[in-house]
């Protein structure tokens, strides 16, 4: 059982990697769908509840990522092939193909959903973001 315990604003939040039951409140299951209660959630339900915010933030994150400067070029320009085609456009993160090519995209979506959940649950200001 993987367990991550966060202490945010003096309240504990437990994030479990498996469907192991623990006797705690404020539990988020990271890899399993469960029946949600007032103090127990699964990340997939949180993604579904905040789907528009998650999608918008994910697309904005990809846009920011492609524009990261490496020297005098942005990432998209830096990985050009013969100055004619950027390999950037062939990456799974740009294709947004999280089912077949890159399961790690799911982790990015989960982190964005967790951020949205914490903002709404803990009244964290909207301008706070660890993804910027």
CA 10 from chain centre, in angstroms, equals 23
Contact, 44 vs 29, CB < 8 A?
Answer: no
Contact, 5 vs 13, CB < 8 A?
Answer: yes
What are the boundaries of each domain within the chain? Answer: 1-49, 51-132
- Burial zone of 59 (CB within 10 Å; 0-12 exposed, 13-18 middle, 19+ buried): exposed
pLDDT tens for the chain, 132 residues: list them. Answer: 455 555 555 467 788 887 677 777 778 888 888 776 767 888 998 899 889 999 999 999 989 988 899 888 888 888 888 878 888 888 877 777 666 667 788 888 999 999 888 887 764 444 434 433
Overall pTM surpassing 0.75 (yes/no): no
């Amino acid at each position: 059982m993987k367990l991550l315990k966060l202490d945010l604003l003096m309240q504990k939040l437990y994030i479990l990697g498996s469907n192991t039951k623990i006797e705690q409140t404020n539990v988020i299951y990271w890899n399993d769908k469960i029946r949600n209660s007032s103090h127990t959630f699964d990340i997939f339900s949180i993604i579904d509840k905040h789907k528009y915010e998650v999608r918008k933030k994910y697309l904005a994150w990809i846009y920011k990522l492609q524009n990261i400067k490496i020297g005098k070029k942005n990432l998209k320009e830096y990985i050009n092939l013969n100055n004619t085609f950027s390999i950037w456009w062939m990456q799974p993160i740009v294709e947004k193909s999280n089912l077949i090519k890159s399961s790690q995209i799911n982790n990015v979506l989960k982190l964005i959903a967790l951020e949205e959940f914490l903002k709404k649950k803990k009244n964290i200001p909207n301008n706070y973001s660890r993804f910027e």
